[in-house]
Amino acid sequence: MATQVDGWSSAPQADEAVAVDHQAEARGTYSDDDDGLDEAEVNGNWTPQEKALHEARLKAKAKRRLRRSSSRNSQSESISESGETPGGDPHAVKGKVHNNDRRSRTGKGRGLPKKGGAGGKGVWGAPGMVYEAEEPDVRDPNYDEAAQGDTVYETVVPEVEEKELEKMVNPIVLEYFEHGDTKEVEALLKELNLGQHKYEFTSVAVSLSLEGKASHRELTSRLLSDLSGKMLTQEDIAHAFDKMLKELPDLILDTPEAPQMLGQFIARGIADHVLPMTFLDTYKGKVDCEHARVALDRAAVLLSMKKGMIGLDNVWGVGGGLRPVKHLVKKMNLLLKEYLISGDVSEAEHCLRDLEVPHFHHELVYEAIMMVLESNGDTATNMMMKLLQSFWKTGLITVDQMNRGFQRVYDELQEISLDVPHAHQIMETFVDLCYQESVITKQLRDACPSRGRKRFVSEGDGGLIKN
């Protein structure tokens, strides 16, 4: 009970002492001499409340000394490397003494503002600074592709390799030989990225035309003329012909007439301004290959003719249906006469194919029948039947062309009989022979006209009509 009474009685005294101490601190009545007395009294028998009061006084005195020293030496004070303030409280937090001081805490610098005044919270930069528009970065996590406007997707076509170029170009050239549309070829070439190998297109097209017909070579010359300046340059075409001159020994294996044809291509190219005018001059005295010299000599002769470059437009001749009808009829008559003399069906077939007029093959059928009607004996009849039979089996003459040729003779048979009295009889014999050999159909055989009256075999045939 005595201890509790002492504790209760000393508690208000401690509170009164702290209040008095704060009042004295506010008035500044404490002096440094009081520390010595307090230290001497500490050795006495103090109660816990008195010790707590004594420690509170010491802390208050330490704070007063710190404030006096900082105000007295504000211009020369520096903080040690350890972050402790001289004369400060060892229990205080290090590095947090001057929180609002903007000067360097390492004791270095001239006391200027950080970043030249451009730093700090809510600051956009130094005065007078102008910022340019920043380009959006695709790698930025906040990058929004939809906010950048319309997105344009471009198709990137890889460059065609030299090994694959021939496989991709061959179908284009062969199809061009069928339709003859240069614009279609240009559109297809634009879809291919030929790159540095685009000169190879010229060599592939010319090589295929050398193995084809005269009309194919004419189409190739027109194609090079239309593509020059658009898809191909004079240097590209010259490079291709230079390569072909070096490859002539290999081209002759498939096309024996390759040197002469290549010379015609060179002459036509110079006339069409596809090749430079000085193309031939660059080879004078520099060609060792015999076949290349033949090609260059052929080109030089064609360019030095009287008509000059104007006549080179028909260097390949006029092919197909562009030729006059009289010219085609003359060629077919000559073909049939040569066949009657030689009897070579394959040669006749080759000549007919070279004419390149499948729509006019009915004229050959008409001319063949007319030769049978005007001939003497059965030799011409049998040979013409074999010729038509061969053309029928190979598909060179179609059903429509065969029927049209026979029908033309049927329509003119009445007039033909004026010059050939036995035309009806010869025609009937030839029609029966062709039907037996499956050259014509039964309907076409039955459509053959008679002499104008039905002739009976004999009086006792029972009224049967001669077939």
Tens digits of residue pLDDT in 230-240: 888 999 999 99
Rounded Cα gap, residues 390 and 400, in angstroms? 16
Rounded Cα gap, residues 291 and 253, in angstroms? 12
**CATH architecture under which domain 322-446 falls:** Alpha Horseshoe (1.25)
- Angle in degrees, CA 260, 266, 270, rounded to 5: 145
- Angle in degrees, CA 57, 61, 66, rounded to 5: 150
Of 441, 373, 371, 349, nearest to 403 by C-alpha is 441
pLDDT at res. 244? 92
What residues contact 59, with CB distance under 8 A and at least 6 apart?
A: 89
Residue 47 pLDDT greater than 90, yes or no:
no
DSSP 98-137: -TT--S-TTS-S-SPPGGGGT-STT--SSTT--PPPPPPP
pLDDT at res. 83? 46
User: Which three-class secondary structure state does DSSP give residue 228?
Assistant: strand
Question: With the C-alpha atoms ordered 434, 437, 441, 446, is the resulting torsion angle positive or negative?
Answer: positive
Residue 345: which pLDDT band, with cuts at 50, 70 and 90? Answer: very high
Single pTM value for the model: 0.49
Q: Is 216 exposed, middle or buried (0-12, 13-18, 19+ CB in 10 A)?
A: buried
Residue 193: strand pairing partners: 159
Residue 241 pLDDT greater than 90, yes or no:
yes
User: Which sequence spans correspond to the domains of the chain?
Assistant: 162-314, 322-446
% of the chain surpassing 90 pLDDT: 29
Q: Are 291 and 263 in contact (CB under 8 A)?
A: no
Q: Are 213 and 178 in contact (CB under 8 A)?
A: no
Q: Same CATH topology for 162-314 and 322-446? A: yes
Residue 361 pLDDT greater than 70, yes or no:
yes
Token representation of residue 72 = 């007295």
Distance between terminal CA atoms of the chain? 164
10 Å Cβ neighbour count for 194? Answer: 20
Where are the alpha helices (H) located in 138-233, listed in sequence order? 162-179, 182-191, 200-210, 214-227
Rounded Cα gap, residues 379 and 373, in angstroms? 12
The average pLDDT across 143-168 equals 78
pLDDT at res. 74? 55
What residues contact 293, with CB distance under 8 A and at least 6 apart?
A: 287
Rounded Cα gap, residues 377 and 395, in angstroms? 29
107-123 pLDDT tens trace? 666 766 666 667 667 77
Residue 206: which pLDDT band, with cuts at 50, 70 and 90? Answer: very high
pLDDT at res. 327? 82
Of 412, 402, 466, 411, nearest to 434 by C-alpha is 402
Rounded Cα gap, residues 201 and 208, in angstroms? 11
* Lowest mean per-residue pLDDT among 22-31, 196-205, 408-417, 426-435: 22-31
10 Å Cβ neighbour count for 334? Answer: 11
> 152 phi and psi, to 5 degrees?
-105, 120
10 Å Cβ neighbour count for 268? Answer: 27
420-433 pLDDT tens trace? 888 888 999 999 99
| CATH class of this structure's domain 162-314 | mainly alpha
